[in-house]
């Protein structure tokens, strides 16, 4: 057997590395190109200790990280909104990151895409994520009927029970600031951050 036709350890490792890199790149590309567009509704029942009996079965719809941008088509956001509207939640919570990299030019279009969610029977509450600015995005959402909480609370009476929603901005980290928002909130409080 000549040395040219012999498989060396170095050639084997190089081949394995190349194959592994190709397989990993293929999986990443598939995820980026296809899987991220596979919008779906996920339902979960949560056991909540101390929840008033009248609120048993309350449905809270959550949508977050829509990231309106050149890489997230409006059709994906519209599909997610349609799925959530069709699920008919009692109230909707929006978890932030409506735009990408604080691109305020996308604030109004993003809010318009999300607007149907504000029609939930008990309304819709939004908080800000790390990609959202503190002025333009909240104004765009508020103009479309969302209650935007920036380190504050709001109250809803649902099925005769008082339900408090406390919303923290992404940047709120100090325990004293969180305690200030929650101070006196009441026994049935949902914290959004």
pLDDT tens digits, residue range 157-191?
999 999 999 999 888 889 999 999 999 998 899 99
Of 101 and 26, more confident: 101
Segment among 30-44, 94-108, 141-155 with least mean pLDDT: 30-44
Nearest to 147 by CA among 131, 161, 164: 164
Residue 49's pLDDT is what? Answer: 86
Q: pTM for this one?
A: 0.79
Distances (CA, A) of 20 to 8, 14, 15, 16: 18, 10, 9, 6
pLDDT on residue 171? 87
Own/partner contacts of 160-165, CB < 8 Å, gap of 24 or more, are: 160/54, 161/52, 161/54, 161/55, 161/188, 162/186, 162/188, 163/55, 163/58, 163/188, 163/189, 163/190, 164/188, 164/189, 164/190, 165/93, 165/125, 165/189, 165/190, 165/192
Choose among 173, 71, 163: nearest CA to 125: 163
Map residue 159 onto helix, strand or coil.
coil
**Range picked from 2-6, 21-25, 101-105 for highest mean pLDDT:** 101-105
Q: 103-161, pLDDT tens digit by residue? A: 999 999 999 999 999 999 999 999 999 999 999 999 999 999 999 999 999 999 999 99
Element housing 148 (H / E): strand 147-148
Whether 30 has a pLDDT exceeding 50, the answer reads no
At 160 the pLDDT is 95
What pLDDT, on the 0 to 100 scale, is given for residue 5?
57
């Amino acid at each position: 057997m000549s040395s040219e036709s012999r498989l060396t350890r170095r050639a084997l490792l190089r081949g394995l590395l190349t194959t592994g890199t190709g397989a990993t790149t293929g999986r990443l590309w598939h995820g980026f190109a296809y899987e991220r567009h596979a919008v779906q509704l996920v339902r979960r029942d949560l056991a909540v200790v101390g929840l008033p009996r009248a609120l048993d079965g309350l449905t809270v719809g959550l949508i977050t990280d829509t990231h309106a941008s050149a890489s997230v088509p409006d059709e994906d956001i519209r599909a997610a909104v349609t799925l959530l509207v069709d699920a008919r939640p009692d109230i909707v919570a929006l978890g932030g990151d409506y735009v990408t990299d604080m691109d305020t030019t996308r604030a109004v279009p993003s809010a318009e895409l999300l607007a149907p969610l504000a029609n939930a029977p008990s309304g819709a509450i939004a908080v800000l994520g790390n990609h959202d600015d503190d002025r333009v995005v909240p104004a765009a959402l508020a103009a479309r009927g969302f209650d935007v909480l920036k380190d504050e609370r709001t109250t809803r009476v649902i099925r005769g029970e008082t339900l408090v929603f406390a919303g923290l901005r992404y940047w709120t980290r100090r325990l004293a600031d969180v305690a200030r928002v929650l101070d006196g909130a009441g026994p049935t409080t949902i914290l959004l951050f």
